[in-house]
Amino acid sequence: RKEVEQDPGPFNVPEGATVAFNCTYSNSASQSFFWYRQDCRKEPKLLMSVYSSGNEDGRFTAQLNRASQYISLLIRDSKLSDSATYLCVVLRAGGGNKLTFGTGTQLKVEL
Amino acid sequence: EPEVTQTPSHQVTQMGQEVILRCVPISNHLYFYWYRQILGQKVEFLVSFYNNEISEKSEIFDDQFSVERPDGSNFTLKIRSTKLEDSAMYFCASSELGTLYEQYFGPGTRLTVT
């Protein structure tokens, strides 16, 4: 089983739509969880950390379910500029703060 | 806003040659990392560095790789004898002390081994 699993997409949505991405992770000792976005041939940029109680940042809402080892990201009122690959990322407890990345879910927002 | 910087942006080298990739982490950060991304694949962890020593390294980070913090600002990744399969985007990242250890990435160095 992959350490971090995501649906690769692509998700093609119209502007203004709401879109949700899901992610599962296999290591129950994982400590911290993040969503990064990556534009083509660019670096991953931290979008938001995911807290146990769930958290919201503007149009973005992240949820964590530790029992199911499941993380989600909801984007409301999607914009053309949201088009990117969204990476689910997990940090394992202990050791050297190694981040484990999913393969990413591609989002294309269209007019 | 402080950011991680990397040089060069693109490096072309011949198989068997040594390369040094350079990074300047965010100034108040204490943890430093190297990751790589082969074209079309996911981002992979190489090594983490704290307090002037390696904290953790992956299986990819074999004897051909080394890291160094030669002064108070730079963090380098050296590949001693490059192979074709080392061709990838190499990202440096840094984080400060804290419970979440949020890591911020530099723009990357694209390494092409011919």
Share of chain A above pLDDT 90, in %: 81
For residues B27 and B96, is the Cβ–Cβ distance under 8 A? no
Mutate to test the interface with A, among B26, B91, B100, B110 (most CBs of A within 10 A): B100
Q: What's the pLDDT score for residue B99?
A: 63
- Which residue on chain B is closest to A48 by alpha carbon? B102
Q: What's the pLDDT score for residue B1?
A: 80
| Residue A81 φ/ψ, nearest 5 degrees | -70, -10
CA torsion A75-A8-A103-A38 (nearest 10°) is: -40
For residues B102 and A46, is the Cβ–Cβ distance under 8 A? yes
SS3 B84: helix
For residues B53 and A96, is the Cβ–Cβ distance under 8 A? no
Cα A73 from Cα A66, distance rounded (Å): 15
User: What Å distances lie between residue B33 and A35, A36, A81, CA to CA?
Assistant: 18, 16, 29
Q: Is B43's CB within 8 Å of A87's CB? A: yes
Q: Is A42's CB within 8 Å of B58's CB? A: no
Chains A and B: how many Cβ contacts under 8 Å? 62
A43-79: per-residue pLDDT in tens? 999 999 998 889 999 999 999 999 999 999 999 999 9
Structure tokens at A24: 């599962």
Structure tokens at A29: 């000792």
Q: What's the pLDDT score for residue A98?
A: 93
Which one, of B42, B39, B46, B40, lies nearest residue B93 by Cα? B46
For residues B23 and B31, is the Cβ–Cβ distance under 8 A? no
Interface of B with A (CB under 8 A): 31, 33, 35, 41-45, 47-48, 50, 54-58, 89, 91, 93, 95, 99-108
